[in-house]
Chain A
Amino acid sequence: MGFKRPQGTVGMQKQFSPLTMRLPVLLAALVAVATCTKTFVGHQVLRIIPQSDEELQKVQELQDLEHLQLDFWLAPRKLGLPVDIRVPFPSLQAVKAHLEATGVSYSIMIEDVQALLDEEQREMLRSSRQLPLDTTTFNYDAYHTIDEIYNFMDMLVAENPNLVSKLEIGRSTENRPLYVLKFSTGGTNRPAVWIDTGIHSREWVTQASGVWFARKIVQDHANNEGVASILETMDIFLEIVTNPDGYAYTHTTDRMWRKTRSRHSGAICVGVDPNRNWDAGFGDAGASSYSCSETYHGPYPNSEPEVKSIVDFVKSHGNIKAFISIHSYSQLLLYPYGYTETPAPNAQELHEISAKAVAALSSLYGTQYEYGSIITTIYRASGSTVDWTYNQGIKYSFTFELRDTGRYGFLLPARQIVPTAEETWLALKVIMEHARDNIY
């Protein structure tokens, strides 16, 4: 590192490269060293521009003084070209004295090399995946960890305190907080829309879309377009990481994990399918009573805190008018019921809304969706989320299955996150607008 060149080396820079351009590269090299062994506290970088052959020779002589441990960032070449020297703290006095005594003028380019390195390190950490500075620099084209998403939520709230607040509705089995973002322009207990993503942890495009939705709501409100009109009379609740224990597990251990991470006495295996744990046809055909199954319904309804917390929230809120639970994959828009073939009382209306929502979704990138009731369109499923919410009186209860149809399945390439979120948002707006225009 640095610019120690053997005596008499040719290979001088043909072109003058400004210190400012070289600085990050050199600093990076120093950082690499700094983090291992050395410290550069008190080191300074001096710049000398030799104006005469004598001055040039004096500077060149410095190169021979090994004991000074000088590090030439720009070696002496010819008159008028700068020479940059990193001088270790112990040698500073001696070098400056020598230059002054021989009448060679110099300037201090860097007062304290270590201080600059520390600043550089902070900047590098910030610009890496660890901590984006704000929701504008957040990378929506990538999948994120729980910590990154929770950090995003805090930033969103901090940037929009009059619109967004964060509620903790409970704790997961492994004691992770269950956070819901509330978007509201005021009022008291306004009619509301609920959206959840990530209830099945391996369905990564859904949590990623949830993050995008959160920012989209804020943007629409700021620009007074899109859902801004919905926010005039309704609140939006958004739970992005509905199954945080499962999500953490997909990052650390098993990318294909679907369920919660609960351990119930008498159960051989870990985890309950949170989309079979609701009190609607609980335990009927369409779920498994075997704990090792991916569709294990659990020992009793709402045994999972991830489910119970939403149940409690919905009941105590009492004014939710539309409820949308988001999954992947298959490209489907579904409405109740899954546990019975009996059509939902307003199945006709739900079917019409679905047709409109799917048309809106398709209009953006041509993505094809099928739609219908859960039982006729995908399969019989008991104890599912929207069957319960529907039976609570939430007329507009829907489930989405996002991209794709099996080519990548759960492992949807990150480049498809934003297009998926964008098209899904159009469908969500249709549902929200219908709820707003058909208040009950």
Chain B
Amino acid sequence: MPGLRSSPPALLLLFLLAVPRGSRAGQALEPGSRSAAAAARVALQYRNCQAGSLGGLRALGQVRKATLKNIPESGHKYYLQFSTEDYRTGEDAGNCLATVLYPKKKSRPVVSIKCSHTKDQKEIQEEDNRFYQRIRHQSKPITANNIPDSYGNIEPALEPVWALAVAGSSSIMWEKSTETLGYFLAQVKSVRQWIRKDDFLEFDYTVLLHEMPTQEIISCHMRLTWLPGRPLKVKHFCASEGHGAEEGSGAESGSAAAPSAEKGASF
């Protein structure tokens, strides 16, 4: 809707209508609850990759309201209202209403999300164009490692490349998320640019995802293409073995087949 500046009454009404009432309504969750925050994060990961925008990337602020409903034959559905921050600057970026359905059958969460914004579309488009130009105007193909580095530094010249990684890895994290497994981008391990004949930007990334609650570090390879105003195209492949796999002192005894990091541990 054009001219959306803050959570208007119309959206709120939609939310209230969407939230089931009465005893079969579903349970209200504490706004501070882990599962509410995790679901909100998944909703934002979905939005961050769908939007295909670097200037519009958002991080979770605070969950204001959360409800959980069990949809028989379908799965668990979260109804959420939360504030967001600009991913880069931390400034208030507006509020969102979202639903997140974790299907009973193992497949990606189903997300619907609608957000107000503090920056208007034109501003965001200009930022995206600036990011785009900064990458385009490099004299040679970009290659880099460890973004941020061990000390949390991101070289200013590599900020656009990092923002692209956030957007791209959001798609991986959304797809992998379940009601019990959530993800954070821990680090961009490496990045390499492929120069194309057309205007699209193309990159190969190796990203490290931090999986919760297992604490595992998952290494994923990601190939993405982007043009401002177009959705991100992401292909990915994640290693199933945790990053700590190295030789110890002998054959494993006790536990059965080594669980792949893709599954949750005993939580």
Contacts and interface: CB of A to CB of B under 8 A. Distances in A.
B259 to A, nearest CB: 6
B106 interface: no
Interface string B133-163: 0000000000000101111110000000000
26 contacts: A143-B151, A204-B150, A251-B150, A254-B243, A256-B217, A263-B248, A264-B248, A266-B254, A268-B245, A268-B252, A269-B246, A286-B267, A287-B266, A288-B265, A378-B34, A379-B34, A406-B59, A406-B210, A407-B90, A408-B148, A409-B185, A409-B210, A411-B149, A411-B187, A414-B152, A416-B152
B29 interface: no
Given A295-B215, A407-B59, A409-B210, A265 B148 contact: no
Given A255-B150, A256-B208, A265 B34 contact: no
A45 B18 CA distance: 86
Interface in A268-301: 268-271, 273, 285-295
A265 B259 CA distance: 20
A256 B87 CA distance: 22
B267 A380 contact: yes
Most chain B CB neighbours (cut-off 10 Å) among A251, A268, A287 = A268
A143 to B, nearest CB: 6
Contacts of A377: 34
Interface in A223-266: 250-251, 254-259, 263-266
A194 interface: no
Contacts of A183: none
A191 B45 CA distance: 48
A143 B108 CA distance: 39
A282 to B, nearest CB: 13
A379 B59 contact: no
Contacts of A286: 266-267
A134 interface: no
A368 B62 contact: yes
Of listed B210, B246, B259, B266, residue having the most chain A CB within 10 A: B266
A408 B265 contact: no
Nearest to B85: A407
A267 interface: yes
Interface string B247-267: 111111111001100000111
B15 interface: no
Given A292-B241, A378-B34, A407-B59, A265 B258 contact: no
B242 interface: yes
Contact of B250 (A254, A265, A293, A370): A265
- Contact-residue size bin, chain B (C-beta under 8 Å from the other chain): 35 or more
A293 B34 contact: no
B258 to A, nearest CB: 6
B231 interface: no
Interface of A: 142-143, 204, 250-251, 254-259, 263-271, 273, 285-295, 368, 370, 377-380, 405-414, 416
A37 B213 CA distance: 57
Contacts of B267: 285-286, 379-380
Given A143-B150, A290-B252, A294-B244, 13 more contacts: A204-B150, A265-B250, A266-B249, A266-B253, A267-B250, A268-B245, A268-B258, A269-B245, A286-B266, A287-B266, A379-B267, A407-B59, A414-B151
Given A286-B266, A290-B252, A290-B255, A411 B152 contact: yes
Contacts of A370: 32
B19 interface: no
A290 B258 contact: yes
B214 A293 contact: yes
The 9 closest A-B pairs by CB, nearest first: A413-B152, A379-B213, A294-B215, A406-B184, A267-B248, A266-B253, A370-B32, A411-B152, A289-B255
Contact of B60 (A287, A405, A409): A405
B204 interface: no
Contacts of B244: 257, 259, 269-271, 292, 294
B186 interface: yes
Contacts of A288: 259, 265-266
Interface string B176-217: 000000001111000000000000000000001010111111
Nearest to A259: B244
Given A380-B267, A410-B210, A268 B186 contact: no
A95 to B, nearest CB: 51
Nearest to A269: B248
A272 to B, nearest CB: 11
Nearest to B258: A290
Contact of B265 (A250, A267, A295): A295
Contacts of A256: 186-187, 208, 217, 243
A127 B153 CA distance: 22
B218 to A, nearest CB: 11
B214 to A, nearest CB: 7
B181 to A, nearest CB: 11
Contacts of A378: 34, 213
A50 to B, nearest CB: 51
A378 B38 CA distance: 11
